[in-house]
Amino acid sequence: MKRIKMGCTTLSIPAMALGIMRMNQKSVPEAQVAIQAAYDAGINFIDSADIYGGGKSEEIFGQAFSQMQIKREEMFIQSKTGIVPGKRYDFSKEHILHSVDEILERMQLDYLDSLVLHRPDALMDPEEVAEAFDQLQAAGKVRFFGVSNFDTAQFKLLQSCLSQRLMFNQLQFSLKHTGMIDFGMHMNMVDKPSVDRDSQFLDYARLHKVTVQAWSPFQYGMFEGTFIDNDGFPKLNQELQKLADKYEVGKNAIAAAWILRHPANIQMLVGAMNPQHIRDSAKGAKIRLTRQEWYDLYLAAGNYLP
């Protein structure tokens, strides 16, 4: 598995992480098979969130992982907090501290390697978040911190009040969600792709050594479904298959290789629970697409160059 530097540190993390959003749909033995498949492929990074399956995903993970032979220190385990489903976003100190305690209990852990704030809270008080982070770190409950779906100004605002460096920003990125790179190639144009919806965060991340974590790497829309083997995207699947045949892997591996080919050292979050899909996706970390292959996939996905 390809390894990348975590944020501004010298620590090494895998270029892929296993997202456990759908683990609530699995039995404990099935969850163990998925975790083991990821670990055997070099994916020793887990990404979760307190809202996944209403907390059930973390419960299943905790039960499964506690019975496995993998040592805790061999895994990097991350979770997210800040969304109260259907009610509000909540970055209050009280909510953050309480959520972490619940996460640790569900996952049967003594600490999280990383805590990520989920979607931006309009009522965020950066100083209050800083107090929560300091308390969590001092108590040994969280080692590192990050955010998810933050624009550049929101990221800078929070960072200005923290004593810790923010290591991550989770952003949606895939062959069918390319806004982070479209506007740069459509600079000085007036067409739809020229609109910057991500406040140039990918460039900011490269300048300030922030690890971008790409979520929904095989999805189109937000959660409409996968574009892999989807009849609605024939040209893209034809190009994926062509390259899959060349590199002797599956389409998931090629779609993953496309994301990892970007020089920003993006970490991709694999949300699959199917061991075969996990193993195939992991193969993408060993493939370095040519520049033309990368652009061929970009164009086959329905994008165009000015």
Percent of all residues in the chain with a pLDDT value above 70, rounded to a whole number: 100
Give me the residue label for tokens 């009522």: 123
Q: How many CB atoms lie within 10 A of CB 170?
A: 27
Please tell me the predicted confidence (pLDDT) of residue 100.
Answer: 98
pLDDT in tens, 55-108: 999 999 999 999 999 999 999 999 999 999 999 999 999 999 999 999 999 999
Share of the chain above pLDDT 90, in %: 96
State how far the Cα of 268 lies from the Cα of 266, in Å rounded to an integer.
6
Do 24 and 54 form a contact (C-beta atoms < 8 A)? Answer: yes
Q: Is the pLDDT of residue 221 over 90?
A: no
Domains and CATH numbers, the chain: 3-300 (3.20.20.100)
**Whole-number Å distance between alpha carbons of 49 and 116:** 8
Reduced to 3 states, what is the DSSP secondary structure of residue 90?
Answer: coil
User: Which DSSP state fits 215?
Assistant: E
pLDDT in the model for residue 118: 95
DSSP E strand boundaries for the chain: 3-5, 12-14, 16-19, 45-47, 76-81, 83-84, 88-89, 112-117, 142-148, 166-172, 211-215, 219-220, 225-226, 267-270
Q: Is 177 helix (H, G, I), strand (E, B) or coil?
A: strand
pLDDT in tens, 158-196: 999 999 999 999 999 999 999 999 999 999 999 999 999
Q: Is 220 helix (H, G, I), strand (E, B) or coil?
A: strand
CB 243 within 8 A of CB 297: yes
**Whether pTM exceeds 0.85:** yes
Taking only the tens place, the pLDDT of each residue in 87-100 is 999 999 999 999 99
